[in-house]
Structure 1
Amino acid sequence: METKKVIVIGAGIVGLSTAYFLRKQGVEVTVIDNTDGSSNCSTGNAGYVSPSHLIPLASPGIISQGLKWMLNSESPFYIKPRLNRDLIKWGLLFKKSATPSKVDAAAKVLYDLTVQSQSLYEKIMEEEGIEAGYKKPGLLMICKTESALHHEIELVELAKSFGLEAEVLSRTETETMEPNVQYNMAGSVYFGCDAWMTPNVFMREFKQKLEQIGVKFQYNTQLDRIIHKAGKIDKIITSQGEFSADEYVLAAGSWSPILMKQLKVDIPLQAGKGYSFTLPTPVAMPKLPSILVEGRVATTPMMHGLRIAGTMEIAGTGLNINERRVQGIIKSVKEFMPQFEEQDFSQIETWAGLRPCTPDGLPYIGRTKKYKNLLVGTGHAMLGFTLGPITGQMLSEKILNHKPSIVSPLLEVERFA
């Protein structure tokens, strides 16, 4: 039997995971990316693998809160006002999705995705001998105010309803669990189900393993045109020549809808820019990763320092760095962690990445209806790194006609058509 050929467009965690599961089944895989693969959204993130993240971005209250935040240039969430048809459509769909019933339905899907993906990470690292500082002692949600703590209690009950380890901690209990950092807080929520690692190290090691097992990489290759015939993708035209395969997987993150427009397939999606920087020798190194709730800032103790990440800026696909928003992250850290002073951030190098955000907070995973040999895996928002392995496995299952790990109409690619 002739070996099936698959082209994966995008060398982030979704693309690499798809290539991994396909290659393990003997498929000939080529991964194409328009960068050198060293600095995509899968490398500079907070490194969380978090089953606790059950609430999608489109949730009740986020719209009114978002409108307030838009008036503050240092706020954690910002939508740049502009007359853009795609943004307006996305916003209307976002509002329609932000209802309690739809959030409950989304939470069930996110639970299945995150729990299975965490198990897949552990299996991949064990079988392939990847060492990326993976740890699973949990995550803290640090709340500066009682009102924020009260709101997080609702998430604790939701997590417990799915059987996840979660509990509310007093200030004293939090200090006992996290003795290395002095937090300005009312208390915290502890999710014992969460894990983390150093994502850039994992991505580097994972790519090396893929190369060793025969996955081909075509970096610095710009995709110019997608040629189709009779309801199938025929070939792709790139800056490095033509490529053809039996199946095509689009895992290009925030750039996916731009490519899909060539094919007249509408997948509403907006790029949510986030920033991070790493302090190699922080004044205090926490034992556990934490989210500073009111500031929406993530702090993660990694192999090479303390990574601090934050903001959600919906302003197009540009990677320019808005220093005001970086200052907003720093301000939150200093307010929550008074051991840190302005001078601790004087030498930071800020990284920016784009999170692909769907209107309902759920990713697009599966085949397109219009083109029978085109699959899509994108739209994971803040959960891209968490959900990479399960997305890759689900896409490989569809290509190989294997029994699906997860089936849900809420993940269909053309659900908003």
Structure 2
Amino acid sequence: MSNKSVVIVGAGIVGFSTAYYLNKQGIEVTILDQTDGNNNCSFGNAGYVSPSHLIPLASPGIISQGIKWMLNSKSPFYIKPKLDLDLMKWGMLFKKASTDKRVKEAIPVLYELTYQSQKLYEELLAEEQIDAGYHKPGLLMICQKQNTLHHEEELVKLAQSFGLEAETLTREETEKLEPNVNYNMAGSVYFGCDAWMTPNVFMKKFEALLVERGVNIQYNTTLKDIKLSNGKVSEFITNTGAYQADEFVIAAGSWSPLLMKKLKLSMPLQAGKGYSFMIKEPIKMPKLPSILVEGRIATTPMLHGWRIAGTMEMSGINHQINQNRVAGIIEAVKQAIPDYESFDFSEIEPWAGLRPCTPDGLPYIGRVSGLSNLQVGTGHAMLGWTLGPITGKLLTEQIVGEQASVSSPLLAVERYN
């Protein structure tokens, strides 16, 4: 048993995974979170565990596509026009990262992270006997137009080059694999390497397991200040009191840069708001999750209904629901799935969560230089759910002094300083 203690800020999938692996090492863990723990980004996402997602958010072509979308509030990507220096700086860095060279460097790192994280999920679910509707194989990329399908075929070649199961399917082949839903499509790409689950069910069961193992979780606890002493963090000051520990971890998603600012450290990151809603009694429940590629919409059959999620909205840190964004998602679903053209969406309850997006699409994972006992795990963009376990494992390996499962300067917390 270790007599070390660690305080983690953030009760999402990254914070919980870090606590889980630390607790297994006999380390005393406290998690602090400013919310009541019922509705963060780890609850309302599409639940994908996706090794197929090898292309970072910042990639060639995304800028020109983004500019076309940017001013249409119903489009898949929307930036709320405002004068914001942090956003402008982030945008410039994003543009710089959107090159073939940077993407080629990022792909093997993303592969290692996503592939290892999926294996960790499967080990964890089996070992702890958590049933959260985990299914594998399968994710369909539904392409309505032939040129979209042609573009997605490049991703198939890329996935196959890493030994991942991926193939292009005709309309007829897709219908055989997915008999429950009639898609308006030219064809699809099938990633047999991908899996999915019901994230809110997993989070509640994972939380109960951590509490049972002795992890101390304090909700409604806001970090107000960070005290330093001799090149180390000495305590986290919160609205409910001070917390001391040997090591400290910031895994607070989109709020992480605000906490870093307390240390006068800059960490470029923007909150990308995503929306989702559940259809509790769908007229047609798909067998497999699907991404409706043209509309950038994710759909997932879950334990309690069918979840539809999508959009990336840069509008700062807020959970306001922009009804235009929701209308855009509904329109995309109606266009791709004719059965839902006349469906009544008036009863849905839209949810919004904030994805922490770095300029280059790779997370920040690791130590903060100059502070020997502070680590950060955030910036996973659309891959937060997929990458929770590997991030927790990497942060734990740092704390206990083990060799890192994945190591790359592209993940450095201060790569922009």
Instruction: Determine helix, strand or coil for the equivalent of 1:217.
Output: strand
2:236 is aligned with 1:255 = no
Given that 2:2 and 2:25 are in contact with CA atoms closer than 8 Å, whether structure 1 keeps it comes out as no
1:321 and 1:113 mapped to 2: Cα distance? 32
1:37 aligns with: 37
2:127 aligns with: 127
1:192-218 deviation per Cα after TM superposition (whole angstroms, max 9, x unaligned): 000000000000000000011110011
**Aligned AA (1:395):** L
Instruction: Determine helix, strand or coil for the equivalent of 2:55.
Output: coil
Given that 1:282 and 1:344 are in contact with CA atoms closer than 8 Å, whether structure 2 keeps it comes out as no
**Aligned AA (1:286):** P
1:87 aligns with: 87
Shift of 1:270: 0.2
1:2 and 1:195 mapped to 2: Cα distance? 35
1:142 aligns with: 142
Instruction: Determine helix, strand or coil for the equivalent of 2:189.
Output: strand
Equivalences for residues 99-110 of structure 1 within 5 A:
99-110=99-110
2:325 aligns with: 325
Given that 1:16 and 1:207 are in contact with CA atoms closer than 8 Å, whether structure 2 keeps it comes out as yes
Shift of 1:51: 0.2
1:340-391 deviation per Cα after TM superposition (whole angstroms, max 9, x unaligned): 1354311001110000000000000000002111000000000000000000
Instruction: Determine helix, strand or coil for the equivalent of 1:88.
Output: helix
Equivalences for residues 156-305 of structure 1 within 5 A:
156-305=156-305
**Aligned AA (1:140):** L
TM (norm. structure 1) is: 0.99
2:239 and 2:341 mapped to 1: Cα distance? 47
Instruction: Determine helix, strand or coil for the equivalent of 1:35.
Output: coil
Shift of 1:144: 0.5
Instruction: Determine helix, strand or coil for the equivalent of 1:136.
Output: coil
1:386 aligns with: 386
Shift of 1:230: 2.2
Instruction: Determine helix, strand or coil for the equivalent of 1:403.
Output: coil
Given that 2:71 and 2:79 are in contact with CA atoms closer than 8 Å, whether structure 1 keeps it comes out as no
Given that 1:273 and 1:355 are in contact with CA atoms closer than 8 Å, whether structure 2 keeps it comes out as yes
Given that 1:52 and 1:191 are in contact with CA atoms closer than 8 Å, whether structure 2 keeps it comes out as yes
2:336 and 2:319 mapped to 1: Cα distance? 28
2:28 aligns with: 28
2:137 and 2:60 mapped to 1: Cα distance? 30
User: % of aligned pairs identical?
Assistant: 67
Instruction: Determine helix, strand or coil for the equivalent of 2:371.
Output: coil
1:82-131 deviation per Cα after TM superposition (whole angstroms, max 9, x unaligned): 22111111111100000011111111100000000000001011111100
1:291-336 deviation per Cα after TM superposition (whole angstroms, max 9, x unaligned): 0000000000000000000000011001000000000000000000
**Aligned AA (2:263):** L
Cα 1:342–1:36 shift into 2, 3 Å? farther
**Aligned AA (1:399):** I
2:351 aligns with: 351
Given that 2:149 and 2:186 are in contact with CA atoms closer than 8 Å, whether structure 1 keeps it comes out as yes
Given that 1:310 and 1:329 are in contact with CA atoms closer than 8 Å, whether structure 2 keeps it comes out as yes
2:73 aligns with: 73
1:263 and 1:231 mapped to 2: Cα distance? 12
2:100 and 2:156 mapped to 1: Cα distance? 16
2:376 aligns with: 376
Greater displacement, 65-74 / 328-337: 65-74
Given that 2:2 and 2:27 are in contact with CA atoms closer than 8 Å, whether structure 1 keeps it comes out as no
2:403 aligns with: 403
TM (norm. structure 2) is: 0.99
Instruction: Determine helix, strand or coil for the equivalent of 1:295.
Output: coil
2:393 and 2:157 mapped to 1: Cα distance? 30
Aligned residues: CA RMSD: 0.9
Instruction: Determine helix, strand or coil for the equivalent of 2:344.
Output: helix
2:3 aligns with: 3
Shift of 1:79: 1.4
Shift of 1:236: 1.1
Shift of 1:2: 6.4
2:24 and 2:116 mapped to 1: Cα distance? 18
Instruction: Determine helix, strand or coil for the equivalent of 1:327.
Output: helix
Greater displacement, 224-233 / 256-265: 224-233
Shift of 1:71: 2.6
1:39 and 1:342 mapped to 2: Cα distance? 30
Given that 1:180 and 1:284 are in contact with CA atoms closer than 8 Å, whether structure 2 keeps it comes out as yes
Q: Moved runs in structure 1, 4+ residues, more than 2 A?
A: 341-344
Instruction: Determine helix, strand or coil for the equivalent of 1:372.
Output: strand
2:284 and 2:110 mapped to 1: Cα distance? 33
Greater displacement, 353-362 / 225-234: 225-234
In structure 1, stretches of 5+ residues that fail to align are none
1:246-273 deviation per Cα after TM superposition (whole angstroms, max 9, x unaligned): 1000000000000100101111000000
2:115 aligns with: 115
**Aligned AA (1:39):** N
Given that 2:335 and 2:341 are in contact with CA atoms closer than 8 Å, whether structure 1 keeps it comes out as no
1:23-43 deviation per Cα after TM superposition (whole angstroms, max 9, x unaligned): 000000000000111110001
